[in-house]
Homo-oligomer: A and B are copies of this chain.
């Protein structure tokens, strides 16, 4: 059975963020965001009150798909339409919690094999249907929302295509159907002794195809690369036919078509299968905590380590604000342990770690390799002023790593805005960019006259640079929640662009980032991207309105004008 997320929020409906187990957390949040105990409560609308829009239908298309799909593969019920309406950005959740679902699909299809996808795409082409591929629905830039109301809107759920089709142990590659969600994918590979090692925050729900279509980055990307670095070959069903790229480690036979498909966000076609580099399940997964006096020295430690071939499986460095949040999630100790900890904190404070930055370092692999990495990395980190906490904090990190996204639902139940923004830059620009973004958002909170939170971490590092991942939150301005959100979103994105950052390092473009695409790739670059689209999808049926801004804003191009007030 497919595990659907909550229609009104993140993740497993059966799981609630264990706020009770973290008694320091809520007070921390209350203080940071200025939330009183009697603050406004904003629960989602009652499910029964959500009215899905009237359904468009296309008789020819319906007849065609009934010719090759089973009835269980075709859904037109409100439950499925609702679940497939949005991704999980703040504007997505804000709207769905209010019952605003104008852009719901008219129909949801569940393909079970590559050939069915080919037939669906061909039928969509023939009958001029708007088709949005859907993986886990974890996208937070508007990637899965239907924007074009002119025709019947169909969402293609890929999650029933989740088999590992084959593994080539001699080459450490696995061919996998694109609809496989993270946990199933890892289970299937683990059963064969292998791992993909791709663990983004979206891991529990997102699919391989979704990751590829958006150039996802997992927590262990320092060792295994971003998803586009792991791909060896792909199949993508486009309206012009199925492109199958060569199963080869490298090639110089023209432009790299894998790297055209990666990041295409369903606008060129549907990724159905991919052959990925895999590696033996690492027997050792050893995660260590290190404290730094400031974000800068931690960042320098990462840079030095990576430059000196001392690259662990994961480097993750939180700034002071995010470290404060992380520590507030710690279960308070009692008795003797508490006494020891109090002394320890005093000691740390005396050494300049009163408001530290937490770094997590992962060492995965066989025992020799993990030990070798530790031997190389830890001295560099210590030499840069890092205080080694050992690996107990690492165990906590490993245990809680997928819990944090659930916290947002609690905040949204309490009238808060909360979302994330991420970028990457070369090392020389990284800290100036970090400070500019943090200071800009803090200044904006001040200007708007309310407290707010902005925290950041570095989670993906390269020889030439690293990514920055910001989380920002504040109380919503009642009645102007989306304007408020887009004001902050625009501000931080503008700061990225003006300080040498990329528009997005691993969340992709969707429609939220569209307005900056011309500045990201230059105008002729946009011409190129539009040419890709018109070549493979000449009638514009695939995920319309995403990735590339409409050529002429006055034209009839699909623009979610009511939801993207800044275009």
A interface with B by C-beta (< 8 Å): 168-173, 214-217, 226, 228, 232, 238, 240-257, 259-265, 277, 279, 307-309, 365-366, 369, 372, 424-429, 460, 462-467, 500-509, 513, 517, 520-525, 527-532, 534-536, 547-548
Contact = CB atoms under 8 A, between A and B. Distances in A.
A252 B507 contact: yes
Given A171-B464, A259-B259, A531-B536, 15 more contacts: A226-B250, A228-B256, A240-B528, A242-B524, A248-B424, A249-B463, A250-B502, A251-B520, A253-B517, A254-B521, A255-B260, A256-B260, A256-B263, A530-B535, A534-B535
A524 B238 contact: yes
A436 to B, nearest CB: 16
Contacts of A308: 366, 369
Contacts of A464: 171-173, 232, 249, 277
Nearest to A229: B250
A242 B426 CA distance: 23
20 contacts: A170-B428, A171-B426, A216-B252, A217-B252, A232-B426, A243-B525, A246-B521, A249-B426, A249-B462, A249-B465, A250-B462, A250-B506, A252-B505, A253-B263, A253-B509, A254-B548, A255-B529, A528-B532, A531-B536, A535-B535
B365 A309 contact: yes
Report which residue of A173, A214, A525 has the largest number of chain B beta carbons within 10 angstroms of its beta carbon.
A525
A532 B255 contact: yes
Given A168-B426, A426-B232, A536 B528 contact: yes
A465 B168 CA distance: 11
A245 to B, nearest CB: 7
A364 to B, nearest CB: 11
Contacts of A255: 259-264, 529, 532
A500 B244 contact: no
A524 B247 contact: no
Nearest to A251: B502
Given A528-B260, A528-B536, A504 B251 contact: yes
Contacts of A547: 254
A259 B252 CA distance: 11
A524 B259 contact: no
A504 B464 CA distance: 29
Contacts of A245: 521-522, 525
A207 to B, nearest CB: 16
Contact of A251 (B365, B372, B424): B424
A214 B240 CA distance: 27
Contacts of A173: 426, 464
A254 B263 contact: yes
A308 to B, nearest CB: 7
A249 B524 contact: no
A254 B426 contact: no
A549 to B, nearest CB: 11
Contacts of A263: 252-256
Contacts of A226: 250, 252
A27 B141 CA distance: 68
Contact of A253 (B260, B277, B429, B521): B521
A243 B428 contact: no
Nearest to A535: B531
Given A254-B509, A426-B173, A527 B532 contact: no
A502 B263 CA distance: 24
A534 B223 CA distance: 39
A250 B521 CA distance: 13
A463 B262 contact: no
A57 to B, nearest CB: 30
Contacts of A264: 254-255
A524 B536 contact: yes
